[in-house]
Structure 1
Amino acid sequence: MIRLLKFFWWSLVAVFCSLLLGLSGAFLYLSPTLPSVEALRSIQLQIPLRVFSSDGKLIAEFGEMRRTPIRFAEIPPNFINALLSAEDDNFANHYGVDPSSLMRAATQLVKSGHIQSGGSTITMQVAKNFFLTSERSFSRKTTEILLALQIERQLTKDEILELYVNKIYLGNRAYGIEAAAQVYYGKSIRDVSLAQMAMIAGLPKAPSRFNPLANATRAKERRDWILGRMFRLGKIDQTAYQAALNEPLNASYHVPTPEVNAPYIAEMARAEMVGRYGSEAYTEGFRVTTTVPSDLQEHANKSIQQGLIDYDQRHGYRGPESRFPGMTRAGWTQELTKQRTINGLEPAIVTQIDKTGLRVLTRNGEKEETVDWASMKWARPYLNTNSLGANPKQPGDVAKVGDLVRLLRQTDGSLKFSQIPVAQSALVSLDPQNGAIRALVGGFAFEQSNYNRAMQAKRQPGSSFKPFIYSAA
């Protein structure tokens, strides 16, 4: 047995030495064909197109990849410790290749005839992510090692880490740690807790398997393992370790939330950028600042919304969008999940009627809310273009249990009975000094129709020509 162990050990040593000799020869042979590591200093990561108001508020974001690059100095030390504890705890000491990883790869080669997992260092992962494919072969691993050695010679450890944390895919279209923090927690990586940092640090190994939204149990196991590694390596103390272990996973899906409701403006900007730059408009990180101030745009939105709703209500109530009588609450909730909110008009299903108004199940299906009778008195039945029915005398004249209706939520949280207007309108406000667009609304709701009536519709000029006539007089 001892002889067998010695033979196996010396076989490993021989394989390891052969690997070193092979790498030396491969370096001499492949070096002229390796990509330039210097290009990493000016690498252009794929960043989505973002559109802003003139006062710097986000209107929209376009692009498949969610990525917000972050500088090394902005990365919290606790996250760096979590990442290195999970991926490469010897990062500060090696020169791109960890000998223990090579020995593990050699062992796998002897046992199975091929390399099953490379135990790559972070530097090797940078080489793979920026220059290579995901192919598993000895030649690709050799190239990866050679590139890692070159990267370590030409870049600092901080530069390598910065490249890594901005490039890696972390699930749910999030590329880089800042985007991941925004997607899973709705805040910057600088503002997440230690436990949340450990969760994000656990994603590079397998973004799908350890995804906290799809596999919460595995994600928590991975997070807790990383916290344990940090504690054993002396990166956190007992108190911080226990507090982080006790913290629930609390991840949920977040999308970039526009700060200004200007979808028609956003679509105009997107079309202009695609016309100029093609598909690169979605990946080059363009930041489009429009001439539209957020406050004027919000005033325009409210004017169009309220004006059309008032006009529509003066022409009568056309009845519920659908009827679902006799359904269970679960059935109603399921039907509500198929409906969208249209420019603030929320879908709801009537569950109860009395003389004071309605009880309705709103879209989330979690609770019932009330609609006062006073907000329903406008709802005379629509008969035809020129005729309306009698004024309703009670809530039951307007709605029935199971009706799918629309409600407009007020600033105090109350709900007013409404309906989606059939009429349409548009608004454009221009700066008379330079012609800049200051506000634009192309219709009642972009979700309902992206047809931009302000720019695409054929309009009668009406009295709009009079200022030009008078100014020329």
Structure 2
Amino acid sequence: MTEPTLQPDKPAPSSSPREPKPRPRKPGGAGLRTWQSVLLGLVLLGLAGALLLGFCLVLLWPRLPDLNKVTDYRPDLPLRGYTAQGTLIGEFGGQRRAVIPYDQVPKQLKQAVLAAEDSRFFEHGAIDFAGVARAALADFGAGGAVQGASTITMQVARDFYLSPEKTPLRKIVEALLAYKIENTLTKDQILDRYINQVYLGQRAYGFAAAAQVYYGKPLSELSLAQIAVLAGLPQAPSAYNPQNSLKLAVWRQHYVLGRMLALGDITRAQYEQALKAPLNVLAGQGVLHYDVDADYAAEAVREIMVARFGEAAYTDGYKVTTTLVDTDQKAADAAVRAGLLAYDRRNGWRGPEGRVDLPENPQDATKAALAALKTRPDVGGLKAAVVLQVERKGVVVLRRDGQQETISGEGLAFCRPGLYDKATAARRIVAGSIVRLHALPKGGWEILQLPQAQSALVSLQPQTGAIQAWVGGFDFNHEKFDHVDQAFRQPGSSFKPFIYSAAVAEGLAPSTIIDDAPISINPGPGQPLWQPHNYENEFAGPMPASAALAHSDNVAAVRVVLAVGVPYARFHASQFG
């Protein structure tokens, strides 16, 4: 019998149906479906956008305001007062604004503004779609809003017509208005409106006004470094205010200069020079500075104009030219301040005007001192300062601008009683004391104090009565009470200088002795004797004419009139108008 042949083991046949073999995938199949989905999404997004655009055009476009405010540009302009020579002495209104014609705007300012806000302004339409995409990518990468995409035209639409609230509907209206503006005005006209209308902090609208507020100069006199600071303000006027936050303002300035360099507006040398250039920002919280100090006269102008025109005086751009003479006003202001400071010196050192607690850490002490100085504006040429150290060689103080000064020698002459160990607490100068600095004629500083007394001076042209100088006190921003216009003066005391000037013309000297003693005068038949007396019914006896005038003694003045003769005294007084 034949042996069966052995076969390798085979799997038992399956009773289940044969499983289909997997079909080979076509190259790119999944990718194709992905792109189809993306394409479909874009189409749907485009349709949604088209529907939204149609909705906006149908419902919102007819409701958009007309463009008269932009085309017939007439911004609210403040009331301004001037001297007879045309020097600005005061400005009043809710908005500080100075409109500057477009052809007079410095080229570097235009370049700086565009570099900071909209470098493709002359290339795109109302909306910069490339800028929108770039901003969206930047925001997506940062996980939040970090970059804006508003064009200059959109900002003009917002500044003229819209509220600052941020809602989707307002953004749509802003875009539609921008399109309407772009189809009505030229690019140069749009940029002109922006430069004159944009808010730049401290109630300043437009770059011309901001130049005066922050630098006290017209735009034409600003350096590239100063221009770059102003160009950085529109994004955040409060944060980048150079008077309040100089470090942030400089950081923003560097960004603007960097953009100008990248765009080819300035050279590398100009860029490097601007980074190092001084800014010379004016001190004070938006207080305007004028070449001629005539605040009291300017306030009188404001009162007259408001009484005549009401609130329109603040918005209709009135310009009032006074009869003040620049040289006379400057001399009068200097005389009043010098006289009050001299009087205050004669009465001695009273003590610091305040104190601030200074931490031991020098950096923290500086911060505390600067914070205290923010509420102490400069007054009448006296600059506020905080004492940091009291040493044998002098007193180290910190000024508002962060500059430290060491006061020594003659600079301590007036306040020296406050440096003695035996000085009372009220008079003692210690670290943290708030004092006043006054510039010495030969350079350096001296420590003084704000005078407590007040004074006034008004100068008139005798033939016409024109007021050529008007000083109502030591400093208007410190004491607004006008001692020329508002203070009550005894007419007799006011007339005595005319009497004494008549006597001086006749040879009276300050040392001439006048007898302040009782006197009786017979006015005529049937009239009772006139017996003049002094205010307190007291008599000082013989005294120099200078002392009699200084004390305003009535009886002494009567004796002076009798000495020169009533007819001559009357004639002399009439020569003053």
Matching residue within 130, 136, 143 for 2:173: 143
Query: What secondary structure, in the 3-state scheme, does the structure 2 residue paired with 1:125 have?
Result: helix
Alignment deviations for residues 286-343 of structure 1 (CA, whole Å, 9 cap, x no partner): 43322111211223234434445556666x547546798xx99988995994766553
Matching residue within 39, 51, 68 for 2:69: 39
Matching residue within 161, 166, 189 for 1:159: 189
TM value normalised by structure 1: 0.73
Q: Aligned pair count?
A: 444
Matching residue within 299, 304, 314 for 1:267: 299
Query: What secondary structure, in the 3-state scheme, does the structure 2 residue paired with 1:154 have?
Result: coil
Letter in 2 for 1:258: Y
* 1:53 shift after superposition: 2.0
Alignment deviations for residues 127-156 of structure 1 (CA, whole Å, 9 cap, x no partner): 121112233344333322332222122211
* 2:233 is the counterpart of 1:203: yes
Matching residue within 424, 449, 458 for 2:488: 458
Matching residue within 310, 335, 343 for 2:380: 343
CA–CA distance in structure 2, aligned partners of residues 303 and 283 of structure 1: 35
CA–CA distance in structure 1, aligned partners of residues 49 and 248 of structure 2: 36
Contact 2:84 2:325 in 1 (8 A): yes
* 2:120 is the counterpart of 1:90: yes
Change (3 A) 1:229 1:3: farther
Q: Which runs of 5+ in 2 are unaligned?
A: 1-30, 139-144, 500-568
Letter in 2 for 1:432: P
CA–CA distance in structure 1, aligned partners of residues 354 and 115 of structure 2: 57
CA–CA distance in structure 1, aligned partners of residues 443 and 135 of structure 2: 62
* 2:405 is the counterpart of 1:367: yes
* 1:40 shift after superposition: 1.3
Map 1:27-426 → 2, pairs under 5 A: 27-63=57-93, 65-100=95-130, 119-184=149-214, 187-194=217-224, 196-208=226-238, 223-236=253-266, 239-240=268-269, 243=272, 247=276, 250=279, 252-254=281-283, 255=286, 256-308=288-340, 316-317=347-348, 319-320=350-351, 334=369, 337=373, 342-344=379-381, 351=390, 359-360=394-395, 364=399, 366-372=404-410, 402=429, 409-413=439-443, 423-426=453-456
CA–CA distance in structure 2, aligned partners of residues 290 and 120 of structure 1: 45
CA–CA distance in structure 2, aligned partners of residues 247 and 406 of structure 1: 30
Contact 2:411 2:446 in 1 (8 A): no
CA–CA distance in structure 2, aligned partners of residues 414 and 77 of structure 1: 39
Change (3 A) 1:147 1:407: closer
Say which one has the larger Rg: 2
CA–CA distance in structure 2, aligned partners of residues 82 and 447 of structure 1: 35
Query: What secondary structure, in the 3-state scheme, does the structure 2 residue paired with 1:269 have?
Result: helix
Aligned alpha-carbon RMSD (Å) = 4.8
Structure 1 window deviating more from structure 2 (157-166 vs 8-17): it is 8-17
CA–CA distance in structure 2, aligned partners of residues 408 and 107 of structure 1: 56
Change (3 A) 1:417 1:199: closer
CA–CA distance in structure 2, aligned partners of residues 137 and 18 of structure 1: 19
Q: Which has the higher contact order (CA 8 A, sep 6+)?
A: 1
Q: Which runs of 5+ in 1 are unaligned?
A: 109-114, 382-394
TM value normalised by structure 2: 0.61
CA–CA distance in structure 2, aligned partners of residues 42 and 433 of structure 1: 46
CA–CA distance in structure 2, aligned partners of residues 251 and 7 of structure 1: 60
Structure 1 window deviating more from structure 2 (88-97 vs 360-369): it is 360-369
